[in-house]
Amino acid sequence: MSEENIYDKVVWSSCNVNCGSRCPLRVYVKDGNILRVGPDNTGEGGPFGTHEIRACLRGRGLREWVYSPQRLLHPLKRVGRRGEGNFVQISWDEALDLIADKLRQVIDIHGNESVFRIYGTGNLGGVVSAREQIDRLMNLLGGQLGYYNTYSTAQITHAMHYTYGAKDCGNHLTDTANSKLVVFFGNNPAETRMSGGGSVRDLVVSQQGSPVRTIVIDPRYTDTASCFADEWIPIRPGTDAALVNGLAYVLITEDLVDKEFLDRYCVGYDKTTMPSDIPPGNSYKDYILGQGPDGLAKTPAWASAITGIPLERIVKLAREVGTAKPAYIAQGWGPQRHANGEQTARAICMLAILTGNVGIRGGNSGDREGPFGISFPTIPVGDNPVKTAIPTFLWTKAIASHDNFTDLGDGLKGRERLQSPIKFLWSFASNTLVNQHSDIASTQRALGDTGLCEMIVLIDNVMTASARYADIVLPGTSSFEESDLCYQGYAVEMGVLILRQQAIEPLGECRTLYDICAGVARRMGVEEEFTESLTHDQWVEYMYHQCRRLRPELPEKYLDAISQGVFKWNRGGQLKIGLQAFRENPAEAPLNTPSGKIEIFSKQLWDLSKSWILPQGDQITALPEYHATWGMPGNSDAQKYPLQLVGHHYKQSTHSSYANNPWLQEAAPHSLWINPLDAEPRGIRHGDLVRVYNQFGQTQVRAKVTPRIMSGVMSLPQGAWYSPDAKGNDQGGCINTLTNQRPSPVAKGNPQHTNLVQAEKACGAPPC
Strands (E) in 621-676, as ranges, are 643-646, 672-674
CA angle 18, 166, 199 (to 5 degrees): 35
Binding status of residue 57 toward another protein by CB under 8 A: yes
Whichever of 22 and 748 has its CB closer to another protein, that residue is 22
Binding status of residue 628 toward another protein by CB under 8 A: no
Reduced 3-state DSSP string for 176-210: HHHCCEEEEECCCHHHHCCCCCCHHHHHHHHHCCC
Q: How far is the CB of 39 from another protein (least distance, A)?
A: 6
Q: Which of 378, 18, 10 is nearest to 198 (CA)?
A: 18
Q: How far is the CB of 633 from another protein (least distance, A)?
A: 10
Whichever of 311 and 589 has its CB closer to another protein, that residue is 311
Binding status of residue 46 toward another protein by CB under 8 A: no
Q: How far is the CB of 410 from another protein (least distance, A)?
A: 37
Binding status of residue 212 toward another protein by CB under 8 A: no
Strands 33-39 and 598-599: unpaired
Query: Of residues 97, 168, 223, 529, which one binds another protein by CB under 8 A?
Result: 223
Query: Of residues 78, 536, 704, 753, which one binds another protein by CB under 8 A?
Result: 704
Binding status of residue 201 toward another protein by CB under 8 A: yes
Whichever of 281 and 707 has its CB closer to another protein, that residue is 707
Distance in angstroms (rounded) separating the CA atoms of residues 64 and 70:
11
DSSP string over 261-276: HHHHHEESSSGGGS-T
Distance in angstroms (rounded) separating the CA atoms of residues 420 and 144:
11
Query: Of residues 2, 276, 375, 533, which one binds another protein by CB under 8 A?
Result: 2
Binding status of residue 687 toward another protein by CB under 8 A: yes
CA 591: distance to chain centroid? 26
Distance in angstroms (rounded) separating the CA atoms of residues 161 and 346:
10
Q: In terms of C-beta density within 10 A (0-12 exposed, 13-18 middle, 19 or more buried), how is residue 384 classed? A: middle
Binding status of residue 319 toward another protein by CB under 8 A: no
Query: Of residues 170, 196, 219, 370, which one binds another protein by CB under 8 A?
Result: 196
Q: How far is the CB of 35 from another protein (least distance, A)?
A: 8
Whichever of 184 and 539 has its CB closer to another protein, that residue is 184
Q: What pairs with residue 28 in β-bridges?
A: 10, 36
**DSSP code of residue 425:** E
Binding status of residue 63 toward another protein by CB under 8 A: yes
Phi then psi for 737, rounded to 5 degrees? -75, -15
The stretches of 235-310 forming alpha helices (DSSP H) are 240-253, 259-265, 284-289, 300-307
Helix (H) or strand (E) holding 12: strand 9-15
Q: How far is the CB of 347 from another protein (least distance, A)?
A: 20
Binding status of residue 37 toward another protein by CB under 8 A: yes
Query: Of residues 32, 45, 108, 208, which one binds another protein by CB under 8 A?
Result: 208
Whichever of 189 and 322 has its CB closer to another protein, that residue is 189
Q: What pairs with residue 654 in β-bridges?
A: 657
Q: How far is the CB of 491 from another protein (least distance, A)?
A: 12
Query: Of residues 296, 297, 305, 638, which one binds another protein by CB under 8 A?
Result: 305
Say whether 547 sits in a helix, a strand or coil. helix
Binding status of residue 184 toward another protein by CB under 8 A: no
Q: What is the dihedral of CA 661, 663, 667, 668, to 10 degrees?
A: 0
Pattern 138-157, another protein, x by CB under 8 A: --------------------
Q: How many CA atoms lie within 13 A of 550 on its CB side?
A: 14
Helix (H) or strand (E) holding 104: helix 92-110
Q: How far is the CB of 245 from another protein (least distance, A)?
A: 16
Query: Of residues 39, 85, 142, 414, which one binds another protein by CB under 8 A?
Result: 39
Q: Which of 749, 690, 744, 743 is nearest to 714 (CA)?
A: 690
Distance in angstroms (rounded) separating the CA atoms of residues 54 and 23:
7
Interacting stretch for another protein, rule CB under 8 A, among 257-265, 315-323, 397-405, 656-664? 656-664
Query: Of residues 234, 475, 489, 647, which one binds another protein by CB under 8 A?
Result: 234
Binding status of residue 763 toward another protein by CB under 8 A: no
Distance in angstroms (rounded) separating the CA atoms of residues 646 and 756:
9
Whichever of 221 and 287 has its CB closer to another protein, that residue is 221
Whichever of 365 and 675 has its CB closer to another protein, that residue is 675
Question: Which of the residues 157 through 176 are near another protein (CB under 8 A)?
Answer: none
**DSSP code of residue 616:** T
Distance in angstroms (rounded) separating the CA atoms of residues 131 and 138:
12
Interacting stretch for another protein, rule CB under 8 A, among 145-153, 267-275, 308-316, 738-746? 308-316
Q: Which of 471, 479, 490, 381 is nearest to 429 (CA)?
A: 479
Query: Of residues 232, 372, 544, 582, which one binds another protein by CB under 8 A?
Result: 232
The stretches of 308-418 forming alpha helices (DSSP H) are 311-323, 341-354, 395-400, 407-410
Question: Are the C-beta atoms of residues 730 and 699 closer than 8 Å to each other?
Answer: yes
Distance in angstroms (rounded) separating the CA atoms of residues 735 and 732:
9
Binding status of residue 710 toward another protein by CB under 8 A: yes
Whichever of 580 and 731 has its CB closer to another protein, that residue is 731
Site for another protein (CB under 8 A): how many residues?
A: 59
Distance in angstroms (rounded) separating the CA atoms of residues 747 and 158:
6
Q: How far is the CB of 111 from another protein (least distance, A)?
A: 48
Binding status of residue 204 toward another protein by CB under 8 A: yes
Binding status of residue 616 toward another protein by CB under 8 A: no
Say whether 156 sits in a helix, a strand or coil. helix
511 contacts: CB under 8 Å, gap ≥ 6: 92, 474, 475, 476, 477, 519
Q: How far is the CB of 150 from another protein (least distance, A)?
A: 25
Binding status of residue 72 toward another protein by CB under 8 A: no
Q: What is the dihedral of CA 211, 216, 221, 224, to 10 degrees?
A: -60
Binding status of residue 663 toward another protein by CB under 8 A: yes
Whichever of 60 and 603 has its CB closer to another protein, that residue is 60
Binding status of residue 311 toward another protein by CB under 8 A: yes
Strands 697-705 and 672-674: parallel
Q: How far is the CB of 665 from another protein (least distance, A)?
A: 9
Query: Of residues 114, 304, 512, 629, which one binds another protein by CB under 8 A?
Result: 304
Whichever of 166 and 305 has its CB closer to another protein, that residue is 305
Interacting stretch for another protein, rule CB under 8 A, among 36-44, 249-257, 328-336, 434-442? 36-44
CA angle 172, 177, 178 (to 5 degrees): 90
Query: Of residues 9, 30, 41, 764, which one binds another protein by CB under 8 A?
Result: 41
Whichever of 76 and 225 has its CB closer to another protein, that residue is 225
Binding status of residue 61 toward another protein by CB under 8 A: yes
What is the crossing angle of helices 240-253 and 300-307, to 10°?
Answer: 160
Binding status of residue 389 toward another protein by CB under 8 A: no
Binding status of residue 219 toward another protein by CB under 8 A: no
Query: Of residues 195, 245, 340, 755, which one binds another protein by CB under 8 A?
Result: 195
Binding status of residue 667 toward another protein by CB under 8 A: yes
Name the CA radius of gyration of the chain, rounded: 26
Interacting stretch for another protein, rule CB under 8 A, among 261-269, 291-299, 641-649, 669-677? 669-677
List residues near another protein by CB under 8 A. Answer: 1-3, 36-39, 41, 54-57, 60-61, 63-64, 190-191, 194-196, 198, 200-201, 204, 208, 221, 223-224, 226-227, 232, 234, 304-305, 307-311, 651, 662-664, 666-669, 675-677, 686-687, 704, 706-708, 710-711
